[in-house]
Each structure stands twice: as structure tokens, then as C-alpha cells.
Amino acid sequence: MSHAPLKIGVLIGSVRPGRFADKVSRWFLSEIGQRDDMETHVIDLSEPVLADELKLTLEQSDAPTLARRIGGLDGFVVITPEYNHGYPAALKLAVDYVYREWRAKPVGFVSYGGMAGGQRAVEQLRQVFAEMHAVTLRDTVSFHMAWERFDDDGRPHDEDGSAKAAAVLLDQLAWWGLTLREGRALRSYDG
């Protein structure tokens, strides 16, 4: 059976100048770009319009741009580093400023960092996304000692292994993405 491509948001969680995220994201976007069952939409939290919306303020904004973009998508891959055994503050703001738009949608993770490869950030994000009624994927792509894992052109040294890990993640995203898209079309999610 053929389906309309899933609209997948790739969220880039680091907003640091000179971030390593650019290397990881470029690689992952080329992997997801090879699939004809997915249409990719990059949500880079350092984009000026989003960074402006996500400024720390005492009053919570409605974040209309971010909410509209998240709301139009069928699933997500969050690209996250690990900072002090957690995930970037910008990612927490992004999750919190959007509410219903996350519901009944799958979320996968590509993480990177030192020894733990960003896994501690991912495990914390799972708890947060559960509260948003999102479904997180079991398998992740993880780069430990990330700065040693890519060549100067941004290609992972273990190109095959990295591509296989991405394929596992994306296959799970495809299953959940289609299943939940059909579910949302059949009945409203009122959980």
C-alpha cells in the first residue's frame, strides 16, 4: 500500500555558536533524505524567529510559529547533545511552549556527547515527551566521544554502522508515524 510521505520534523536542540550539532545534523539529514516515505522539515531552534520566541520570559508565549510547525508534522527526530547529564535548555523551552501539537505523535532521538553518547539526555527527554502524550522510539542513534567519530567532511568514520543505526530508527519512526497518523484521522485523541 502506498502512503503520502510522513512529514517528519528534525529538531536541532543545540543553539550554541560553533555547535557540533551541525555535523551530526548534516549527516542525519542526508540519511533521512534518502527515504521516499518521509518528507523532512528542519526545525532549528537557533533560527532567529524561533530563538526569539523561545527567549526566557516570565510570561509564557504562545509560540505560534513553533506550534504551527510542530502541529503540521507527523513525527519527529530530536538531535540532542548532553550538557551536564541533561539536555539543552532550548529544547525544554521548545517542548513546553507547544502543547497539543505533540500529542499522539512519535519522537525518535539522535544523541551525541562524551562517554555516554548523550544517552542521559535522551532518557530525560523520554520522561518529558511522555507527559506530552508523545510516543518515544526504543532505538536511538548515539555518538559517544562524538568529536572523534566524524571526519573533516562530516562523514562518520563508521559509515555503515551509523547508516544501519539510522535505518533502524527511521523504520520504527515510519511504523509509528503511519499508525498514529491513521489513528488520529480515525478518532480524536482525548487522553
Interaction site with ligand FMN (CB under 6 A)? 14, 16, 19-21, 81-85, 113-116, 146
* Closest alpha carbon to 111 in 11, 17, 3, 31: 11
Provide, rounded to whole angstroms, the least separation between the CB of residue 44 and ligand FMN: 12
Closest to ligand FMN by CB, 77 vs 178, is 77
> At 149, which amino acid appears?
R
Provide, rounded to whole angstroms, the least separation between the CB of residue 133 and ligand FMN: 28
Closest to ligand FMN by CB, 133 vs 155, is 155
Closest to ligand FMN by CB, 12 vs 174, is 12
Query: Which residues lie across from 44 on neighbouring strands?
Result: 12
Dmax (CA) for the chain in angstroms is 49
Provide, rounded to whole angstroms, the least separation between the CB of residue 140 and ligand FMN: 14
Residue 33 has which C-alpha cell? 533524505
Closest to ligand FMN by CB, 85 vs 100, is 85
Query: Pairing between strand 106-112 and 141-143?
Result: parallel
How many other CB atoms are there within 10 angstroms of residue 17's CB atom? 6
